[in-house]
Structure 1
């Protein structure tokens, strides 16, 4: 719809030129409607050869090039407009947008500030600034622009949600609630705003509020992990342990488990005096809390220490690696250290056997053959 509107504006702006014809208009319309922006730009440049001073024509060529992804070329046309009128808002917006797409957020901010210099109540600018700064620097750094945008348009859901998050993180719960409620008055079915209310209730430990709001959100089709997790934890917090288990085990079944969800399942089973289940889930919690890379990190520490001739310390690191993951190659490494460096044949034999029993992959054929040979030698 936005493209159609812009296309219509483009055509009307061109009709005033004596050089333009109905056939040209139809051709440009067809190109733009089919998103053939590069061809549209070339057609416009053929119809309007240089030198071009008409800012409307410069703007249309710039627009076509920008939509075609030719950002540097588009910039040259917008800059020519700004040379004639440094306060031309549409071109400043376009230059800010191009700068954002090119990752030059500092430059984009300067263009937005130029717009504000002549239009200090431009909501769109504050919204663009807050979105850009939130994504590039972090939400907290967008606070000033979010506050201003919200004061100009309190019903905008995206702004209200982001601004309420800032206020929530600053423990300004009443202000955050007011921002969300004002926006919800304008759009009571906005799930983003309802999510914000659920997150605020969670931060305030208003567990019944969390249950009520999350239930509405889930009923309306949003079963995102964070919403389900908050609901499960809220049921636990109001001592509805079986409901908490049902919800959080559902997350586990759908591969959405986290350390936190497993912990609350364990605590719910504990409260219900199902101690076997509680221990099972506490063990799962411990496993989930450990990085999958921990064993590898300890193995790397062992390798570094071994290369540093710190043999005993390297063994300690390798043993820690085995605690997190019984990897066959780590077993082989320990076996060779005891065998070749420490000359402890009994311990080496034990680790060679553990290595073979771990069923190492076929690509470790050389290690398998060597271990088998050493087992036969050390067993004599």
Structure 2
């Protein structure tokens, strides 16, 4: 509908162009088939390059913009803006072109010009929010846009997420509530409201809305929110069952496993509670934790803080029996702490951990040589 309206307006403007005879049917065909580059070239072939006719320039700029020729589109829109300054549609076009080219500062400047001319321009505030340099600035523009149109779903969603980021859960919930009332079938807004409802203790509402949403789409985020709501409603069996579906799908996380452990504890199913408590711990530990402690130990060594290095390496071993840590401990005890017995012990542990003989031949040979030397001494 918007496309045909645009075409109609363009063709109407063609009738007002005072220049050489123009083939309206040909131009209309270009627009209907969305051959904007051809339309722009045709207009350029008819009108002189130095024309100051704003209708002609606007038409050419529009066609160039729609065909992706942003430099020429900007050039013609700037001509129009010079001849007829403070033209809001032209300023919007210039903002759009600069936004798509990544020139955010220029795009923002044009949008600020628009609200200077029209302080109630919803679209300008909505777009300005996207250029907010920080949460506060983004919030300012989104609040203004929401004040002008509280039922716009995109603005309501973005404003709600911004409030949530600021932990202003009631404000975030209320913004979505208004938009949902205007569009009860908007599942995106309802799903966005679920975690807020949980934060505000509206657990029954979470379950009821979640059940409705799951009929449309089995979304893991909805299941997660429902599981939490069941727990706080003390419906522990349902909580465990809901989170078990996530585990079966392989999308469990530390939080879901934790709720399962607590639920089974409340149900006095202690064996299961123990299993899921251990799973929670395992999920909460990164596969790279041992590597991080190895790096920390190396830093302490460089700073000659050898007791700290020893503590870091041993801490790393509690997460993974990493052979490189055994080797580092062997070196630390050997050369820095001067404890030959401990050095031999960790060199042996390194060799028993079966390091890759191809990639670590030098370290393997060195560990064997040091064991021999330290044992003899």
Q: Is the 8 A contact 1:28 1:43 kept in 2?
A: no
Deviation string 1:302-352 (CA, Å, 9 cap, x unpaired) is 222223333333222222222233322222222233234444333223222
**Which residue in the other structure is 2:31 paired with?**
29
Q: Is the 8 A contact 2:11 2:24 kept in 1?
A: no
1 CA distance for matches of 2:277 and 2:169? 35
**Which residue in the other structure is 2:199 paired with?**
203
Alignment of 1:175-190 (within 5 A): 178-190=174-186
**Which residue in the other structure is 2:273 paired with?**
278
- Specify whether residues 328 and 92 from structure 1 end up closer, same or farther in structure 2 by C-alpha distance, changes over 3 A only: same
Q: Is the 8 A contact 1:197 1:213 kept in 2?
A: no
Q: Is the 8 A contact 1:158 1:192 kept in 2?
A: no
Q: Is the 8 A contact 1:266 1:279 kept in 2?
A: yes
**Which residue in the other structure is 2:98 paired with?**
99
1 CA distance for matches of 2:229 and 2:58? 55
Deviation at 1:9, TM superposition (A): 4.1
- Of 314, 327, 336, which residue of structure 1 is paired with 2:322? 327
**Which residue in the other structure is 1:228 paired with?**
223
1 CA distance for matches of 2:311 and 2:48? 77
Deviation at 1:233, TM superposition (A): 0.7
1:137 aligns with 2:138: no
Q: Is the 8 A contact 1:233 1:244 kept in 2?
A: yes
1 CA distance for matches of 2:102 and 2:158? 22
2 CA distance for matches of 1:94 and 1:234? 47
SS, match of residue 363 in structure 1: coil
- Specify whether residues 7 and 353 from structure 1 end up closer, same or farther in structure 2 by C-alpha distance, changes over 3 A only: farther
- Alpha carbon RMSD of aligned pairs, Å? 3.0
Moved more, 10-19 or 117-126: 10-19
1 CA distance for matches of 2:66 and 2:81? 19
Number of aligned residue pairs: give it.
372
1:297 aligns with 2:292: yes
Q: Is the 8 A contact 2:169 2:196 kept in 1?
A: no
2 CA distance for matches of 1:292 and 1:60? 59
Deviation string 1:206-257 (CA, Å, 9 cap, x unpaired) is 11111111221222215042x2211111111111112111221222333322
2 CA distance for matches of 1:71 and 1:255? 46
TM-score normalised by length of structure 2: 0.85
Gaps of 5+ in 1: none
1 CA distance for matches of 2:47 and 2:63? 14
